[in-house]
Structure 1
Amino acid sequence: MGNGAVSVGERLSVPLFTVVTPSYNQGRYIRDCIESVLQQTEVTWEHIVIDGGSTDDTIEILKQYPHLQWISEPDRGMSDAINKGFLRAKGRWVMWLNTDDYLLPGALKKVAEFAEAHPEADVIYGYSYFVDESKRILREKCEHKFDFLSLLFVGCYIQSTATFIKRDIIQAGHLLNIEFRYTMDYDYYMRLALAGYKFLYLPEPLACFRWHGDNLSILGGRSGARWKESCKVKEYALQQLGYAWLANPFIFKAMFYLFRPRRCLLRFRAHGRLL
């Protein structure tokens, strides 16, 4: 199982981590995702797969891994699937890992050590490598410490595939908004930030984000839907902050260019480089 110090029974009874994977017809990638979790050592974890009724070979692959907790049934999209997994989670820390993405070796151990050193953290996020379909690294997407103004005006720099949330947050009723298809992560992190939860940055690569033609981030960008959803997130935040009069797409564009240098500076301070 790749986790010799911890038995399957122990891992499933009191896991430190829950990894939730929303799945739909991604059989060509899901094995990499599953195996990347299996390679996580020296920590306890559970892996929950919520499949939306795949018609490819996904189910046959899932059956090959008896440690998985999985269901396959129709859902209302990725956010709905993730919420189902969140509500089943037992781990102290919960993350979602899409079927086409995968964790790097030692990622969960790094997060566990960071969490122990920073008990005040509610959300811990690292960064990812962007890779192609063959796992060739395209770029290293390093980030910076949490900055609300960058989140609001530049966009969602927090990478969901390298982000861990305390289960207490989920138990408090904070779930994804299923109305969002492309920016559910942006909406979620914005709402958590507005609620006062503490975000801490772990300056380590934790996962790989696979960049391919069926990726929702690409599809949403091409159609303009991602930008429209992002505007809704910004509008909501500004309304909550009492600045509803700033909720205008033209202002959002101007603010993006105004605050982007700030984000570059924060990244430089964290990693000594701009990218």
Structure 2
Amino acid sequence: MNTPMFSIVTINYQNLDGLRETVESVRSQSFRDFEHIVVDGGSTDGSAEWTAANFDGAWVSEPDGGRYDAMNKGARMSSGEYLWFLHSGDLFGDDDVLARVASAIQTRPEGLPDWLYGLARVVNADKSLRTTLGFVPFNMFNFAILQRPLPHQASVFRRDFFWRLGAYDTEVGIAADQLFMLRAATSSTPMTLADFLCDFDCTGISANRSWWANNKDRHRILRQLETPIARWRTLDILIAYSYGLLRQLGFLLRAGVGRR
């Protein structure tokens, strides 16, 4: 049996409509060298029944320990060279995304990347654009200090690299994806693509967290890492909070606060 190039892992809980949309988005890809895996957390909204009747890939429906436990479970079920986590409700940017990413990987002069990421459109429930996520080229200062998050739905990891890094830490909480990507970045510089790889459903928990909550998580994450970044504590705090205040000021100005 040939190893597929991509293993696309979709986790789901009580989101049948989103699951249908994601499965259809994956099925519509022009590039076909992939497997699709669905990990459902024991939904009672008909997700398991729909998957059994309509999905031809590997899947499981059972209680789990949360999203990152489910994502790790999906990774264990995978056999592809690269892992791509696309949650229920999230969509590929268009029908040729996998084809473009595969071509970029295969033609990279430096060889196959350990991981890569592109850009993501953050969309509302009606699919209208809310904002965008991601930045290219990669810059550790922007990511770790200025808190510019990387979109994990637009990130792809070699499966052996994923396991070498220890998979997702299920004890960290909602920020485990950013911790994992920080570990990835300190181990291997990512390949980047200035391409919108996915449409990220902003009705999820992580999309609606405040900057301050994310900042608190980021400090907790940095303290766990044995890297030079984790030792910049005082400078980090000064820069991060100054940047946060400027962001808030910019938001207020754009919203017209204080105008007469």
CA deviation map 1:146-185 (0-9, x unaligned): 1111111022532111111011213425300101222111
Matched, 1:108 2:95: no
Matched, 1:199 2:190: yes
Partner of residue 216 from structure 2, selected from 215, 225, 228: 228
2:238 counterpart residue number:
251
Identity %: 25
Aligned length, in residue pairs:
244
Note the C-alpha offset of 1:28: 2.2
Distance 1:44 1:176, change over 3 A: same
CA deviation map 1:38-61 (0-9, x unaligned): 011233111111111111121122
1:98 counterpart residue number:
87
1:86 counterpart residue number:
75
Inter-partner Cα distance in structure 1 for 2:126 and 2:147: 28
Query: What one-letter code is carried by the residue in structure 1 that aligns with 2:6?
Result: F
Query: What one-letter code is carried by the residue in structure 2 that aligns with 1:132?
Result: N
1:263 counterpart residue number:
none
Equivalent pair of 1:120/1:198 in contact (CA under 8 Å): no
Note the C-alpha offset of 1:140: 4.0
1:209 counterpart residue number:
200
Inter-partner Cα distance in structure 2 for 1:129 and 1:245: 32
Note the C-alpha offset of 1:219: 4.8
1:188 counterpart residue number:
180
Distance 1:259 1:171, change over 3 A: farther
CA deviation map 1:54-99 (0-9, x unaligned): 1112112212323221111111110000001112211111110111
CA RMSD of aligned residues (A): 2.5
Matched, 1:125 2:114: no
With 226-235 and 48-57 compared, the bigger mean Cα shift is at: 226-235
- Normalising by structure 1, report the TM-score: 0.80
Partner of residue 58 from structure 2, selected from 61, 66, 69: 69
CA deviation map 1:221-262 (0-9, x unaligned): 39x64333222112234x4327536168843634645999xx
Unaligned regions of 5+ residues in structure 2, if any? 248-260
CA deviation map 1:189-210 (0-9, x unaligned): 111122x223011111111011
SS at structure 2 position matched to 1:64: helix
2:35 counterpart residue number:
46
With 66-75 and 244-253 compared, the bigger mean Cα shift is at: 244-253
Equivalent pair of 2:123/2:130 in contact (CA under 8 Å): yes
Inter-partner Cα distance in structure 2 for 1:210 and 1:145: 24
Unaligned regions of 5+ residues in structure 1, if any? 1-9, 261-275
Equivalent pair of 1:182/1:225 in contact (CA under 8 Å): no
Partner of residue 12 from structure 2, selected from 13, 23, 45: 23
Inter-partner Cα distance in structure 2 for 1:134 and 1:219: 16
2:158 counterpart residue number:
166
